[in-house]
Structure 1
Amino acid sequence: MEGERRRLSGILSSVSLLCVLLDLQLDGLLAASHAEIESHLEMGRKLLAAGQLAEALSHYHSAVEGDPNNYLTYYKRAAVYLAMGKFKAALPDLSKAIELKPDFLAARLQRGNILLKQGNAQEARDDFEAVLQNSPDNEEAQNQLARIQELETNMQEAEASADRRDFTNAISFLERVIELSPWSPEARELRSECFLQIGEYSKAIMDLKPTTKLRNDNRAAFLKLSKLYYTMGDHEESLNQVRECLKLDQDDKDCFAHYKQVKKLSKQLESAEEYIKEERYDDAIEKYKSAVKTEPNVPVYATKAKERICHCLSKSKRPEEAIDTCSEAHQIDPRNIFILRDRAEAYILNEEFQKAVEDFQEAKEFDGENEEIKEGLERAQRLLKQSRKRDYYKILGVRRSANKQEIIKAYRKLAQQWHPDNFQSEDEKKEAEKKFIDIAAAKEVLTDPEMRQKVDAGEDPLDPENQQGGGGHPQQWPFEFNPFSSGNFQFKFNFN
């Protein structure tokens, strides 16, 4: 019996010793854990002060994980979120800090301020009133309660004005609402709709865009933005916005249907522009016509297509068609300098230089700094001046777009017609001689690429005033002929 008591006593002593050792070990672990948490908090504080927010946040995460019941840790992490502009992420931490310490006034003030900026007036009021119950003289809480009252009054007035379709007055009230609650999706959505109703599309977009982040899974806002951009003619941005909607839900029927329409139109417009870059103007024209068929209900695309078709016709040297199409486009969009530019170029091709000058001058009034317009005006003025003197194209009776073969063919016909040997009387010979010289000069100039380029730029390469030194006779005829020599004329000319 005595032995049994001794054995039991030994066991109890061993257990007691083990418990003491475990307690000591646990105390050591707790001390180490506490030291580690303090280290994270201290590092977080230093990094926050240094502006290294992401690194500070990482240390506060570790501190929260190490001590999930420390209200101050949540509050400090919320401060980092706020510094990063992540007010949504800050709210749960502030709420947890208040849950752990209901009389934590700093956290209540901070949460109340966020709720007020979100437009959550009643929840914000609850926080500020709770602060005043504990601290009746708290000036910040008193001021914020007054702002909440102002917010609610202005919002009510804005909604009433919008219901009366007095959108301008509603916008005025909403301006103050958004000053007080810049993160309120309801206020921004309402103002966006008011701007939309009065035709201020760009302002409507500016208000609607933030709501895609202020609300979770805001597919409706992305779709509305896409449709607004589409209506304004910005098909590329329209496509970007509807893709954001599909990222949130690829099976969204409304977004997918709109995506297909925008995608088809965008592809046609992009292909048309590629054809223009490749100088495939007929293909570009067909693509623009197809785009109008794809979207017949949004006028901006028909207007854009007409403008670009005008450009293609001018570039492909079809002046009559270009003038007609450009004139139609000009009636729709009279301040568009590119339509005026392209019509001016078509007038030049049609040898209507005065009208070309007028179009370039009108374009310059709208954009006086555009170098292309200034250069075009100077060229048209030179061509007008030149047309009143010697016009080599008119001499041969060819279009300004005529190729070398057409020029030579016209020259041969006229040279044979006006050869001085074909005429008998002295007066007739002199008239034919003059005509023949002009015909030969026109052929020489227009078959020489460098001289023809000068002519097309509004210069006369055979004008003595344009010759270096100003002296001598500049004409180099393609035949052996001296019109000033006496005796019978002997013409030896080249029909090539």
Structure 2
Amino acid sequence: MATEHCDAVNMDPDMEMLSDEEMEREAEGFKEQGNAFYIKKDYAEAFNYYTKAIDMCPKNASYYGNRAATLMMLCRYREALEDSQQAVRLDNSFTKGHLREGKCHLSLGNAMAASRCFQRVLEMESDNSQAQQELKNAESILEYERMAEIGFEKRDFRMVVFCMDRALESATACHRFKILKAECLALLGRYPEAQSVASDILRMDSTNADALYVRGLCLYYEDCIDKAVQFFVQALRMAPDHDKARLACRNAKALKAKKEEGNKSFKEGNFEAAYELYSEALTIDPNNIKTNAKLYCNRATVGSKLKKLEQAIEDCTKAIKLDETYIKAYLRRAQCYMDTEQYEEAVRDYEKVYQTEKTKEHKHLLKNAQLELKKSKRKDYYKVLGVDKNATEDEIKKAYRKRALLHHPDRHSGASPEVQKEEEKKFKEVGEAFSVLSDPKKKSRYDSGQDLEDDGMNMGDFDANNIFKAFFGGPGGFSFEASGPGNFFFQFG
């Protein structure tokens, strides 16, 4: 490398009278001191002495190269890049200068620019193993960038995070890669990790619009919409053409407004309107998992009011799929299961709730569901008689009369053996139902879920004919006379 004469810049007045040779000696002395501090890993002091050397001889490429190396050790890659570029401007054959420029570009994520620098080194030294390895690293980063772009388009955010992690192994100071990783972490619901990455960048650069956007995105997805909007607005101040921040800001405001409209309609008892408003809100941003989970649960609540119970169950299931910790959705779905007599499913949901939050209320709900499940597995005597659970004594008697006559074996004496057997079974069930529901004590025990056989009432030994005879006034009080299949007449005494 050709020797450069020193042109003093911002020189101390006492130094102005020094000759070029004396200035070069002074500069070399500063450089040697810088080297000593560099060896000791005192990079801050090394930087100071290399700077003094540059001030003495601002056209010496090696001084810029040395200071660039120090700045790289201090992770100040942008400044190191400037010094490396200045070094090769002063001496285009300065191999180390080109190599350091490439490394700075690589650390900052400029893989194409880095490749050009390493190729330049290899043109000068074809066997330079360091340049060969760094060129491979640059090519790997370009490939990871390509894969990440495809992954983002396919909404395969885990793939993007993987690619960015690999790229950041070489591009350690690339804010662009870190921001893309943070954005995908937010889209995956890994908000603390995303916040951490964005906050690290903002500590170094408080005006970084991308980092502000990601901070806002995390708050937005955690349903802190007002705070999120503040970050989006701040990002747009830093970068008015930031399309993602503008879209997120618009979505956040629209989502909040639509949700509040739905809540207002619900409170006013306008359930149809609330249902439509929650449905509209759900179309705004499919990525907002937490808010959408709440919207599905809200719509389920409205759906249950509108007797759309199956739809309400489906909405609760969607809410739980989005947020498996959403207790309110489990409770709402369990109630819908109770209302549709799907007691096993209700018990399962209430068990999940009680395992998570062991409150007295949740314990009571679980016990009640378990009781209803137990009751559902017995014969439903109300269903056998075709009456409501609040049926009066007269209604129960009328129902028994109708069903007993309908299924009495004598009425089906001309039917096939299979039909006779089935009707006899139904006749017995009708008698059982009447014997329980017409007796206040038995009915009370039955309604409370007690097992009647545990109370000494062996329904297996029950004789339905005795009930029938007693109800219709004993022997001779009632008779069937068949005159062919399906033809009969009643005779009352």
> TM-score, normalization: structure 1?
0.44
> TM-score, normalization: structure 2?
0.45
